[in-house]
Chain A
Amino acid sequence: MTASAGWTIHSIQPILRSLLALALAALALAPLLSANVYVQTLGVSACLFATMAMAFNLVYGYTGLLCFAQVAFLGIGGYTAAILVTRLGWSFWVAAPVGGLLAAIAGLVVAFSSLRLSRHSFGIATLAAALLCTIVARDWVSLTRGSMGIPGLPAPEIHLGSLDIVINNPYRFYGLSLIFAVGAIAFLHRIIHSRIGRIFVSIRENEPLAISQGIDPLRYKLLSVGLSAFVTGLCGALMVFNLTIVDPSILDFYYTETMLIMVVIGGPGHFWSVLVSSLVFSILPELLRFSTDLRLVLYGLLLIAAMLVFPKGIAGLLEKRGTDFWHKRLAAGRGQVS
């Protein structure tokens, strides 16, 4: 998929790749070398947003399912981990994956109930699921403590033999987030470039053809939603333990809108361009210090503009150049090639 953008720039592509890798590495190291807490906090948020955006890219970009429940998965992961740790005294390292698992189960239930219907229904049902989670978070006070949230989440600790690390400052939390983000994004990369990933794309591109080739679309759509929800749930657990509090604001539609803009502008169904756009959109607005409302107005305008002018994102524009290149090349070679 990503290679498809490269025909016009075929020869310099390896160089571009290494430049991109270098830039990403430098970006990743910056908060570790910096003593600035703000930079480290921004780094944590960039790691989590990039992972969330890639998980959303899996389900929307690759599988073609416009799932609005990502924010619900985030919330379920965050709340589950927080409740398991504070109420039942579980270790963070067990509670977080359980949170991811619960998010995945919720995703499967919602997806299964609405996937058999039209794509409109899927969008609306996932949206409603997100809203239902907000209601639970805000109003099931005995479980979630309502709008007060659950404060004072303990810092995750690592005990390995004589090694004891308490992840209780932004520097250490950035380290944890970076390891998680790299691991999760590598996992998603592996899935996307495996045969399963290609099956996801085939379902998005042409479902009847995929069926005629023996692919069961429901099974793979559920797999895609489940994997995406699991990763997003893990992000939620990390997010709330970084903030040391979970409250209903984790279910804010703002997260959905941000994930959307990252994936849509980067180019749904493309890997590196969405990764880059997710980093740009997590870092740039912070540096420019936009207020949230103004930022969302701009995101909204950007979304409309993208749908009107470049619905396949930046990567789609590049890919079109690639296609034009083939058209030209084939037209030139029409003499020899029949």
Chain B
Amino acid sequence: MDAEFALQLLVNGLTIGLIYALVASGLSLVFGILNIVNFAHGEFYMLGAMLAYFVAGTLGMSYWVTVVVVVLAAGAIGALLYDILLQRFEGSNVERGVLATLGLSMVLQNGAIFLFSTTPRLTRTEYSFKIWEFAGVTLPLTRLFAAVLSVIAFALTWWALQATQTGRAIRGVSQNREAALMVGIDPKRVSRIAVAAGIAFAGLAGAALAPVYSVHPTMGFAFVFKAFAIVIIGGLGNFQGAALAALLVGMVESFVGALASLVIADAITFATMLLVLLMRPEGLFGRGVRL
């Protein structure tokens, strides 16, 4: 393997890893704050991509407008999701939250199949088929933007968690709900914002990948499984752990996918997850580095 090819694979892995990180850390955010594994998380990624397809493709909006519209819509849906559904399962047993979000996933996914059929659609934007070339590495612009958007989202979130009142409140609630209540944090407001952010992440991932991959109703299903694996490998509820694990999975997929096959890459991801469960149940990166 020559250096250029390796560099290309590295860049590809980084790009896809960043997007995985977006979905996985959204999942992790919701879990950290509500202690609910959101089984419908992948469907919001799918909805984000669908919406991007309509806004960019059907309405003909520009790439950046599409991204902003999708993120705002996903955030609003996230807030609604919390108010209408998730809020009622806070503090109830694990299975109720899992089954309710699984039910939601069934409704969204099969509803989308019913309305749009399973035909894959390609989203055309003004950047489609444009390529960025640097040091012998070629990268489609849409991929590059996906990676950049992901980095921006992470930087913003990181800043918000560290520097803003709400961000600190989110960290407080996810570390110790009772203590947060005692210092006067309104847990409902904080949870709503966190869920909205988590869903917005999923929507952003969908919008960013819509021009890269094809859009279809079952795309969220396969994607969220990978996100589950990533969250387990990184440590449940561990925000940075999930992001790191996502980058690892992206790399594995890029290198193993190119040198062997994507199937083997998937198998490695899931086998790693089972191994992590077996050997290091607290996740590769432990519980030390929490939100």
Contacts and interface: CB of A to CB of B under 8 A. Distances in A.
Interface of A: 60, 64, 66, 110, 113-114, 116-121, 123-125, 127-129, 131-132, 135, 138-139, 253, 257, 260, 264, 291-294, 296-297, 299-304, 306-308, 311
17 contacts: A66-B95, A110-B274, A120-B37, A120-B94, A121-B232, A131-B225, A135-B267, A135-B270, A139-B261, A293-B110, A293-B113, A301-B107, A302-B103, A304-B85, A304-B100, A307-B89, A307-B100
B140 interface: no
B277 A294 contact: no
B106 A296 contact: yes
A260 B100 CA distance: 12
A64 B98 CA distance: 13
B91 to A, nearest CB: 14
Contact of B103 (A125, A294, A301): A301
B99 interface: yes
A263 to B, nearest CB: 10
B96 A125 contact: no
A119 B94 contact: yes
Contacts of A304: 85, 100, 103-104, 107
Interface of B: 31, 37, 85, 88-89, 92, 94-96, 98-100, 102-111, 113-114, 221, 225, 228-229, 231-232, 236, 261, 263, 266-267, 270-271, 273-274, 277-278, 281
A331 to B, nearest CB: 28
B88 A303 contact: no
Contacts, number: 117
Contacts of A306: 99, 103
Contact of A303 (B94, B100, B263, B281): B100
B100 A117 contact: no
Contacts of B231: 124
Among B104, B109, B274, B277, find the residue whose CB has the most chain A CB atoms closer than 10 A.
Answer: B277
A113 B274 contact: yes
B122 to A, nearest CB: 23
B52 to A, nearest CB: 22
Contacts of A118: 94, 236
Contacts of B94: 66, 118-120, 123
The A interface, classified by DSSP as helix, strand, loop or mixed, is helix
A128 B100 contact: no
A121 B281 contact: yes
A274 B228 CA distance: 30
B102 to A, nearest CB: 7
Contacts of B105: 300
Contacts of A132: 267, 270-271, 274
Contacts of B114: 291, 293-294, 297
Contacts of A117: 277, 281
B56 to A, nearest CB: 26
B103 A307 contact: yes
A131 to B, nearest CB: 5
A300 B37 contact: no
Contacts of B31: 120
B102 A260 contact: yes
B106 A128 contact: no
Contact of B106 (A124, A125, A129, A257): A257
